[in-house]
């Protein structure tokens, strides 16, 4: 290396001048060697962001290829699909409409985060009372839009990081940091947009089409539409939704297994002594639309028989009757959604309601169609099935119970087999097989044949097992996402505050008998409110204590 002392006087002078030039100017000189003939700057490393310039915007490709500056006179790139769609294209899963959430529970004034097959979405209701589903990612700095807010003044979803706003079509309509000239160019670029998806509301459930294919591609396949997927399901505005720490296939498997009820749900639905041999009947061939099965069991001391169906890939529907002096119907409809590895979402439709004649006829037509697809014979129709009966006294009383209280009971019910299912699927992935000698397990065997044939869910790597407190976290799994339970929780918090206030007043006048009564009532209210409030946040179930 040539030392400075060996340089001539003129060379030293040139070096001194170069050292006085600002660093930014030196960077410009050095960067000139990377300029292409067209004048665009070419970088040899991938770029992760886009910058606005006076002449246009810098568009980048997130790969090892080169990055170029696109000026205003260049063609703006077109976004052909979202990253979520590209990820879903790699998955093996039936291309149908997908359920996400219940309009009965989701907060319409909040951007709600939702998941499907590991992809993140955001859902809200716009000023036109239309539900909107978009990718949960702001194109600016890639933060979740579900952490933002709904701007009712502009009827848009606002990212709360930098204030970018998007309409229900996913188009960016405002960039607060940009000048009018830059904003005009940026808003005309597809790169400022968020992918927005077709939405359909069926039986108070929000369905969307996340695939890159056109929804019309399944126009001739009714079993892939929400109406077909929910054929025979209960029509009732009330629902109960919970995110569960076990996978979609484990959830479906548990729902089509009535033999576990006397033991796993002892004291909640029947008792252990109800267990009897169950002769489960399933079809020999398993089609893509799922399968139907017949069974008879005993619960709450009564025999129960009927049919069930796995209406692939999301719905499990039961239609049965109790054999007693006063015959009663048993109807259960559950939507099972794969959210992410090791997690699923269950949307349970509310208690059975008698339907008008036209609804019964429409549902029977759909049932016949699904039966034909699954190659299972349909039972004769009861002539009196269409007759509308007066609601029972029990049903009337049930309607008076606050929704949040019903959801507390549902939480308890799902807690009772939650630990089994969470640990079971980890062990199943390790051992890869069950031992199922009884006829009651025929449905499970059918499902385990169906899953690898039509999905890739059996190959999904599970996350690490959760701690018990994480497993029974009711706040994150239900309460934080249910408007009814949030209202109930606020009511209890108000009761606690009021009880503290009146308790303080009663202490001041404790010499009076009325004050003593008020103090006792306040102490009782505080104890009850604290216990119930805890149930909104955490749960548990220990079978060795359930005798």
Question: Cβ-count burial of 538 within 10 angstroms (0-12 exposed, 13-18 middle, 19+ buried)?
Answer: middle
- Is residue 101 one of the residues assigned to a domain? yes
Q: Find where tokens 């033991």 sit.
A: 263
* One-letter-per-residue 3-state SS of 64-92: CCCCEEEECCCCCCCCCCCHHHHHHHCCC
- In 3D space, the residue among 240, 211, 203, 194 whose CA is nearest the CA of residue 97 turns out to be 211
Q: Domain ends where: 31, 46, 71?
A: 71
- Residue 351, judged by CB atoms within 10 A of its CB (0-12, 13-18, 19+), counts as middle
Question: pLDDT per residue over 187-221, tens digit each?
Answer: 999 999 999 999 999 999 999 999 999 999 999 99
Q: What are phi and psi of 239, to 5 degrees?
A: -140, 170
Judge whether 385 lies within some domain. no
Q: What is the CATH number of the domain that holds 178?
A: 2.102.10.10
d(CA 305, CA 476) in angstroms, rounded, equals 36
Q: Which two tokens stand for residue 363?
A: 């549902």
Q: What is the CATH number of the domain that holds 338?
A: 3.90.380
Q: pLDDT for 365-423, tens place per residue?
A: 444 343 334 433 334 444 444 445 555 676 677 778 899 999 999 999 999 999 999 99
pLDDT tens, N- to C-terminus, the chain (547 residues): 444 445 555 555 554 544 444 433 333 333 333 333 333 323 333 333 333 443 334 444 343 333 333 333 334 333 446 899 999 999 999 999 999 999 999 999 999 999 999 999 999 999 999 999 999 999 999 999 999 999 999 999 999 999 999 999 999 999 999 999 999 999 999 999 999 999 999 999 999 999 999 999 999 999 999 999 999 888 777 899 999 999 999 999 999 999 999 999 999 998 999 999 998 998 878 999 999 999 999 998 899 999 999 999 999 999 999 988 887 889 999 999 999 999 999 999 975 433 333 333 444 344 434 333 443 333 444 444 444 555 567 667 777 889 999 999 999 999 999 999 999 999 999 998 999 999 999 999 999 999 999 999 999 999 999 999 999 999 999 999 999 999 999 999 999 999 999 888 888 777 788 888 888 999 999 999 999 999 999 999 999 999 8
Instruction: Choose one of 36, 71, 106: the last residue of a domain.
Output: 71
Q: Tell me the angle at which helices 513-537 and 483-508 cross, rounded to the nearest 10 degrees.
A: 150
pLDDT for the residue numbered 11:
53
419: DSSP letter: H
Phi, psi of 523 (to 5 degrees): -65, -40
Structure token pair of residue 55: 């002449």
Quick count: other Cβ atoms within 10 Å of Cβ 414? 22
Q: Do 192 and 256 fall into the same domain? A: no
Same domain, 164 and 243: no
- 282 and 162 in one domain? no
Pair 292, 398 in one domain: yes
CA 479 to chain CA mean position, Å = 14
**Domain tally for the chain?**
4
Assign 3-class secondary structure to 226-286.
Answer: HHHHCCCCCCCCCEEEEEECCCHHHHHHHHCCHHHHHHHCCCCCCCHHHCCCCCCECCCCC
Q: What is the pTM of this model?
A: 0.78
- Is 211 a member of any domain? no
How far the first Cα of the chain sits from its last, in Å, is: 87
CA-CA distance, 260 to 272, in Å (whole number)? 10
> CA–CA separation, 215 vs 208, rounded Å?
10
Backbone angles phi and psi of 337, in degrees to 5: -120, 125
In a domain, 89, yes or no: yes
Burial-class residue 360 by CB neighbours within 10 Å (0-12, 13-18, 19+): middle
Domain membership flag for residue 240: yes
pLDDT of residue 35: 34
Identify the CA nearest to 340 among candidates 181, 120, 527: 120
Q: Which phi and psi angles does 168 have, rounded to 5°?
A: -70, -15
Looking at the structure, tell me whether residues 122 and 246 fall in a common domain.
no
* Same domain for 487 and 467: no
* Signed CA dihedral, 96, 98, 104, 109: sign only: negative
Q: State whether 62 and 189 are in the same domain.
A: no
Looking at 448, 471, 494, the residue that finishes a domain is 471
H/E segment holding residue 131: strand 131-135
Verify that 270 and 293 share a domain, yes or no: yes
Based on the fold, state whether residues 283 and 369 are members of the same structural domain. yes
149 in any annotated domain: yes
418 shares a domain with 510: no
Residue 214 falls inside a structural domain: no
Beta carbons of 521 and 503 less than 8 angstroms apart? no
* 221 belongs to a structural domain: no
Query: Which residue(s) pair with 317 in the sheet?
Result: 309, 333
Q: Are 162 and 135 in contact (CB under 8 A)?
A: no
92 and 64 part of one domain = no
Domain holding 503, by residue range, is: 482-545
3-state secondary structure of 36: coil
Q: Residue 440: what are its φ and ψ, rounded to 5°?
A: -65, -15
Quick one: 267 and 414 in the same domain? yes
């Amino acid at each position: 290396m040539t030392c400075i002392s060996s340089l001539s006087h003129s060379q030293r002078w040139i070096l001194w001048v170069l050292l006085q030039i600002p660093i930014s100017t030196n960077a410009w000189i050095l960067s000139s060697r990377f300029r292409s003939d067209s004048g665009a700057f070419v970088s040899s490393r991938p770029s992760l962001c886009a910058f606005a310039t006076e002449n246009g915007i810098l568009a980048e490709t997130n790969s090892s290829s080169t990055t170029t500056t696109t000026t205003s006179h260049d063609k703006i790139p077109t976004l052909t699909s979202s990253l979520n769609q590209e990820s879903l294209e790699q998955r093996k899963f039936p291309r149908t409409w997908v359920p996400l959430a219940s309009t009965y529970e989701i907060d319409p004034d909040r951007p709600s985060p939702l998941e499907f097959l590991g992809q993140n979405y955001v859902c809200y209701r716009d000023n036109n009372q239309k539900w909107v589903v978009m990718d949960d990612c702001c194109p600016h700095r890639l933060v979740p839009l579900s952490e933002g807010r709904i701007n009712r003044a502009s009827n848009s979803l606002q990212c709360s990081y930098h204030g970018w706003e998007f309409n229900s079509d996913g188009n960016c309509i405002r960039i607060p940091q940009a000048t009018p000239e830059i904003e005009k160019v940026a808003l005309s670029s597809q790169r400022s947009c968020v992918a927005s998806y077709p939405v359909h509301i069926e039986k108070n459930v929000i369905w969307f089409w996340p695939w890159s294919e056109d929804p019309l591609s399944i126009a001739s396949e009714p079993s892939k539409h929400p109406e077909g997927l929910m054929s025979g399901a209960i029509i009732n505005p009330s629902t109960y939704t919970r995110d569960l720490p076990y996978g979609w296939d484990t959830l479906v498997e548990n729902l089509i297994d009535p033999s576990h009820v006397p033991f796993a749900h002892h004291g909640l639905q029947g008792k252990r002594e109800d267990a009897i041999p169950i002769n489960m009947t399933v079809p020999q061939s398993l089609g893509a639309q799922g399968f139907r099965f017949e069974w008879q069991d005993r619960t709450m001391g009564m025999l129960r028989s009927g049919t069930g169906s796995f209406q692939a890939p999301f719905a499990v529907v039961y239609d049965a009757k109790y054999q007693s002096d006063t015959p009663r119907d048993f109807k259960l409809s559950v939507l099972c959604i794969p959210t992410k590895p090791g997690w699923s979402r269950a949307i349970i439709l509310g208690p059975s309601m008698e339907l008008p004649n036209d609804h019964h006829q429409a549902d029977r037509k759909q049932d016949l169609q699904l039966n034909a697809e699954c190659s299972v014979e349909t039972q004769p129709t009861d002539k009196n099935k269409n007759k509308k009966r007066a609601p029972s006294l029990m049903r009337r009383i049930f309607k008076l119970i606050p929704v949040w209280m019903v959801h507390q009971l549902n939480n308890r019910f799902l807690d009772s087999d939650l630990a089994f299912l969470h640990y079971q699927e980890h062990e199943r992935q390790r051992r890869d097989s069950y031992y199922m000698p009884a006829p009651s397990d025929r449905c499970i065997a059918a499902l385990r044949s169906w899953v690898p044939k039509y999905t890739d869910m059996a190959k999904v790597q599970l996350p690490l097992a959760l701690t018990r407190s994480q497993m029974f976290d009711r706040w994150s799994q239900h309460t934080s996402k249910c408007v009814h339970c949030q209202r109930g929780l606020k009511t209890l918090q108000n009761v606690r505050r009021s009880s503290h206030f009146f308790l303080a007043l009663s202490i001041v006048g404790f010499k009076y008998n009325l004050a003593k009564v008020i103090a006792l009532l306040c102490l009782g209210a505080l104890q009850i409110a604290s216990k119930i409030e805890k149930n909104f946040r955490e749960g548990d179930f220990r079978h060795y204590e359930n005798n």
